[in-house]
Amino acid sequence: MNAQEFQASLGAAEPPSGLAPELTALWWDAKGEWARAHAEVDELETPNAMAVHAYLHRKEGVEWNASYWYRRAGRAYRRPTLEEEWRALVDAFAAQ
| CB 43 within 8 Å of CB 25 | no
Q: Which domain holds residue 86?
A: 18-94
Q: How many domains does the chain have?
A: 1
Q: Is residue 2 part of a domain?
A: no
Biggest CA pair distance of the chain? 34
The answer to the question of residue 5 being in a domain is no
Question: H/E/C letters for each residue in 21-41?
Answer: HHHHHHHHHHCCCHHHHHHHH
- pTM here? 0.94
d(C-alpha 55, C-alpha 39), whole Å: 13
- How far apart (Å, rounded) are the C-alpha atoms in residues 12 and 10? 5
Q: What's the pLDDT band for 56 if we cut at 50, 70, 90?
A: very high
Residue range 48-63: average pLDDT? Answer: 95
Query: Is 46 contained in some domain?
Result: yes
In a domain, 7, yes or no: no
- From start to end of the chain, where are the E strands? none
Residue 12 lies in a domain: no
